[in-house]
Amino acid sequence: MPISYCRHKQTDSQWGKTVSSNEQDKLLFTPGPLTTSRSVKEAMLHDVGSRDSVFIEKVRSVRTDLLRLAGVSQESGYESILLQGAGTYGLEAVVSCAIPKTGHLLLVINGAYGHRLKKIADIHQIRTTGLVYQENETPQAEDVKSVLDKDGSITHVSIVHCETTTGMFNDIEAVGRVVAGFQKEYIVDAMSSFGAVPIDFAACHIDYLVSSSNKCIEGVPGFSFIIARRSCLLKTKGQSRTLSLDIFDQWEGLEQNGQFRFTPPTHTISAFHQAVAELLEEGGVTGRARRYKENYALLVQGMRTLGFREYLEAPKQGYIISSFLYPADPKFDFDDFYNRLNGQGFVIYPGKLSHADCFRIGNIGKIYPQDIGNLLKAIESVIEKMNITL
């Protein structure tokens, strides 16, 4: 018999709804899209016009709340920009707009998502230098300093905050201090961290931060967002390499009339508006971090008890998503393992490492310690049925 996965009723009843077990979706232990609350889903049940005053007010509210969650404001010199498309669209928008034709981007890379930024820059024929580490290595601020010391032509530096390839947290503050010391512009991919990992914009000297609607704020896919230092954003006027990804024109339109230049993801923004309210109700970034950390601690403890080993050493591991090594038993087949868990209502994620066989389990989304406990029971059951020795 499949293991049932009853959810905490307060997950949704706090917003006035109780979900019966037969209405439950599969639980997504992935880096996104994520499991969302019933109330976030319900926020998408109503159609709204892109010029409707109610929708324009939601856009204004979301933009203001994003700055609030970042600990910055328009008064402190920052702007928030919403852009149709997944997180990679936002990253490509920043890279293709912020870096002029004469620019030179230093990419700090220790995983697949850093390499993706390199691909974006190459497509736009932007000059790059890569500071590349193994996927289990932490980038060092001193190495960034050494590169910047040697090459004065570098104008921008990029780094991934939570490298979702492994789940490692990179030290964006230490790197940011170095970047600021050389008066370069600093781009941070905070796709899998913003909303659940505290970020001090001033201490990190961030000029551009990019994330998306379907990560730690627990909305649904459909748009990315950029939090930009205004003085840097203003310099991008006229230097976009594309029409639809022009962050200056997008920001200017939002400022002038609250509207997107092209058809906005109305339902996604309505869902995100509700998701932000639920994040604030939970205690903001620190409150959400507390729950995710509890999920992570329970997951790691349980997986170790079962006999699994993490890919990263504990001090390097963040609490967003974790990579686990395949068991040594040759009978282990990930696709079989995945499908058996999926059949019981639990969705995990394949690995993305270049030199080790791993799978990944996320701790984020509208999941709670009880859900982690049920996942662990399901994994134990599946391993027994597969006759895997750990």
Is this model's pTM higher than 0.85 or not?
yes
Assigned token pair, 56: 């324009």
What pLDDT is stored for residue 23 in this prediction?
Answer: 57
Pairing between β-strand 162-163 and β-strand 208-212 as defined by DSSP bridges: unpaired
Instruction: Please provide the average confidence, as pLDDT, over all residues in the chain.
Output: 93
Domains of the chain by residue range = 10-41+285-386, 53-280
Residue 194 to residue 161: CA distance in whole angstroms? 9
Q: Name, of 21-30, 139-148, 345-354, the range with top average pLDDT.
A: 139-148
How far is 147 from 203, CA to CA, in rounded Å? 21
pLDDT of residue 94 exceeding 50: yes
Mean pLDDT of 214-241: 98
Is the predicted pLDDT of residue 219 greater than 80, yes or no?
yes
Mean pLDDT of 63-77: 97
Average pLDDT over residues 162-183: 97
Domain 10-41+285-386 has CATH 3.90.1150.10: yes
Percent of the chain, pLDDT > 70? 94
Q: What is the mean pLDDT of residues 186-209?
A: 97
> Would you say the C-alpha torsion 113, 115, 119, 120 has a positive or negative sign?
positive
- The pLDDT confidence band at residue 187, using thresholds 50, 70 and 90, is very high
| pLDDT grade for 5, boundaries at 50, 70 and 90 | very low
Q: What is the DSSP letter of 317?
A: B
| CA 322/CA 379 separation, integer angstroms | 15
CA dist 317 and 17 (Å) reads: 35
53-280 maps to CATH 3.40.50.2300: no
Q: Residues 6 or more apart from 247 whose CB is under 8 A from it? A: 81, 83, 93, 94, 97, 98, 226, 228, 233, 236, 240
pLDDT in tens, 231-263: 999 999 999 999 999 999 999 999 999 999 999
At 111-125, the pLDDT tens digits run 999 999 999 999 999
Does residue 33 have a cis peptide bond before it, meaning omega lies within 30 degrees of 0? yes
Q: CA-to-CA distance for 323 and 358, rounded, in angstroms?
A: 6
Structure token pair of residue 115: 């390499």
Confidence of residue 143 (pLDDT cuts 50, 70, 90): very high
Q: Six-digit token pair at 285?
A: 């970034």
Residue owning tokens 């993490």: 310
Q: 286-335 pLDDT, tens per residue?
A: 999 999 999 999 999 999 999 999 999 988 999 999 999 999 999 999 99
Please check the confidence at residue 354 and state whether its pLDDT lies above 80. Answer: no
Q: For residues 128-144, give the mean pLDDT.
A: 97
Q: Is the pLDDT of residue 353 over 70?
A: yes
DSSP string, 91-136: HHHHHHHHS-TT-EEEEEESSHHHHHHHHHHHHTT-EEEEEE--TT
- Average pLDDT over every residue of 202-211: 98
* pLDDT at position 14: 44
How far is the CA of 39 from the CAs of 75, 116, 281, 297, 366, in angstroms?
Answer: 32, 34, 13, 27, 11
Nearest to 38 by CA among 218, 226, 211: 218
- As a whole number, mean pLDDT of residues 91-109 equals 98
- pLDDT of 185 > 60? The answer is yes
| Nearest residue to 65 via CA among 222, 194, 244 | 194
Nearest-angstrom CA–CA distance, 11 and 32: 19
**What are phi and psi for residue 272, nearest 5 degrees?**
-65, -40
By C-alpha distance, which of 281, 221, 186, 206 is closest to 86? 221
Distance CA 204, CA 198 (A): 11
Report residue 205 CA to chain centroid gap. 20
